[in-house]
A and B are shown apart, each in its own frame.
Chain A
Amino acid sequence: MSDIVLTMTGVEAGYGGGLVLQGMDLALDRGTITCIVGPNGAGKSTVFRVISGLLKARSGSVKLGEREINGLDPAEILRAGIAQVPQNRALFPEMSIRDNLLLGGYAIRRDKALLKKRTAMVEEMIPLIKERASEHAGNLSGGQRRMVEIGRALMLDPSLVLMDEPSLGLDPKSVAKVAELIRGMAAEGRTVLLVEQNVRLGMHLATHGIVMEQGQVRLTGDAKDIADNPEVASMYLGKASGT
């Protein structure tokens, strides 16, 4: 049985008259962490928008398992098992942390037993959510917010989690906690796809790496091999080529 969770084949997508993704291919295995790097405008965020249904691919296919998901609306894709933790603040600041978490289970709100089970699961994984349940989410620090955002995304027990810049704006201690959580998700069999400007951190965290340029995959492989690639090292890690 194939263990591939998501496949993109020859995807072309863009805004207005222009194409951002120009024949994008991608395959993500179960339980892996894949980090996409690339210069601004390479199409990293567009990959996320296509997978989460915010942007429809003009050609090519996007499959979750065997199911074609290109063209489904974002709520259907969410229910199918793809959750997203965006780069910008996505919490509801004037609502309690508990309500923020519950809203992550909005799509399963009618199944009370399942909702309770998932809440307990996430609370066990991220104790902060239980400890500060009644506080407003707006009172949390950047790192704590990111933890709640991840917890909220886990409420639907997604098979694939998309994370846009998970370390952005966080202090080193919070980055370590978030990294631990991401590794924990993968260890449980979830697939994580992340975009990270901090290439060093991204490749350290990931099992696989993808370098994108002009809407296509330029390089793909084990994260360690990508990080050690002289060209990548020189472009993104500040090392001289060949060192």
Chain B
Amino acid sequence: MQFIQILAFGLLLGGVYALLASGVTLIFGVLDVVNVAQGAFLVFSALFTWQIWDLFGFEPLLLIPLNGLLMGLLGWAIYRGMLVRVAPQGPGMTVLLMFGIALILEGILNLWFGNKFKSVTPSYYLSSFNFGDIVLPMPQLISGILAFITLGLIYAYLRFSWAGRALRASAQNKEGAALVGISQRSAASLAFAIGAATAGVGGVLLAIMYPIFPATQYDWISRLLGIVVLGGFGSIPGAITGAMILGVTEAFANTYLPQWSSLFFYGAILLILLFRPQGLMGTKTREDVVA
């Protein structure tokens, strides 16, 4: 029974990771930009949640639409204002730009919140959900379910809307997309906005699960990049699979070998990349094959 409980816990955790990583991989797929600021966006949203909750005391989950929208707008503005100018300089420069943005955001958060852990503790913070012998902490359960719902909405949007089709087309073949009249600039702005919005939503979910302080952005971005590398850069199914592997591995390792928890996931990445350098679901590019 304990096995099923840990597995369920791991899958819920994996759902939250999947939402966060899907934003990174979507941005990479459409823009070829590794958004190393996603961790900072996430922490920014989480600390904003804490601030509003601390000031007004209302249900933090109600901030999900607002944070998603605000971070989406911030992402859109960053793309239109900065990234679009730097993108022609190549991936090295865009990584530097996004790293710079992450450092600036972290600095602002440090000034505002101080270098201290902040915890959002709503009424259900310490409660749990009992399903027979399986006991799941309420914040994890709620966050996991909301993450899956958000992922479902993103999937439906990408699959069935015209904007979603345009994004997928742009990610798969930029020249082909231009030929049918899809503007790369619009597709890229939308992809960056959606990617950042996932951090907005994810930030609220993290805020009710974990204590947060500005420098935790490094911990989060390394996990997210790990997931995306494992799944294959640019592949959303890959990011979901990678996230589930991380969630379940972490849940089991935390129970049985807590001090080795990180080693298992990064060890798995190392092993998988030895045999599949393009990640679990990534495709080899022409450059990979030539090299």
Question: Chain A: residues with CB nearer than 8 A to chain B?
Answer: 74-75, 78-79, 84, 86, 88-95, 99, 102-104, 106-107, 109, 152
Contact = CB atoms under 8 A, between A and B. Distances in A.
A99 B175 CA distance: 17
B168 A95 contact: yes
Contacts of B162: 106, 109
Interface string B168-180: 1100110111111
Interface of B: 162, 165-166, 168-169, 172-173, 175-183
B180 A103 contact: yes
Contact of A107 (B165, B175, B178, B180): B180
B181 A90 contact: no
9 A-B pairs closest in CB distance:
A90-B176, A75-B181, A92-B172, A107-B181, A78-B181, A106-B180, A92-B169, A109-B162, A103-B180
Contacts of B177: 92, 103
B182 A106 contact: yes
A104 B175 contact: no
Contacts of A94: 168, 172
Contacts of B175: 86, 88, 90
B173 A90 contact: yes
Contact of B180 (A88, A93, A104): A104
Contacts of B179: 74, 78, 84, 86, 90
Contacts of B165: 95, 99, 102-103, 106
B181 A93 contact: no
Nearest to B172: A92
B283 to A, nearest CB: 8
22 contacts: A74-B181, A78-B181, A86-B179, A88-B175, A90-B179, A91-B173, A91-B176, A92-B173, A92-B177, A93-B172, A95-B169, A103-B165, A103-B166, A103-B169, A103-B177, A103-B182, A104-B180, A106-B180, A106-B181, A106-B182, A107-B181, A109-B162
Contacts of B180: 78, 103-104, 106-107, 152
A243 to B, nearest CB: 42
A228 B74 CA distance: 64
Contacts of A91: 173, 176
A186 to B, nearest CB: 21
Contacts of A88: 175
Of A84, A91, A92, A94, most B-chain CB atoms within 10 Å: A92
A78 B179 CA distance: 8
B176 A92 contact: yes
Contacts of B169: 92, 95, 103
B288 to A, nearest CB: 16
A99 B173 CA distance: 14
A94 B238 CA distance: 14
Contacts of B178: 74
Contacts of A102: 165
Given A102-B165, A103-B165, A106-B162, A95 B172 contact: yes
A93 B173 CA distance: 8
A93 B285 CA distance: 13
A84 B173 CA distance: 15
B173 to A, nearest CB: 5
Contact of B181 (A79, A86, A92): A79
A90 B173 CA distance: 7
Contacts of B166: 103, 106
A236 to B, nearest CB: 28
Contacts of B181: 74-75, 78-79, 106-107
A93 B172 CA distance: 7
Contacts of A90: 173, 175-176, 179
A80 B172 CA distance: 26
A94 B237 CA distance: 12
A99 B183 CA distance: 18
A193 B180 CA distance: 18
Nearest to A152: B180
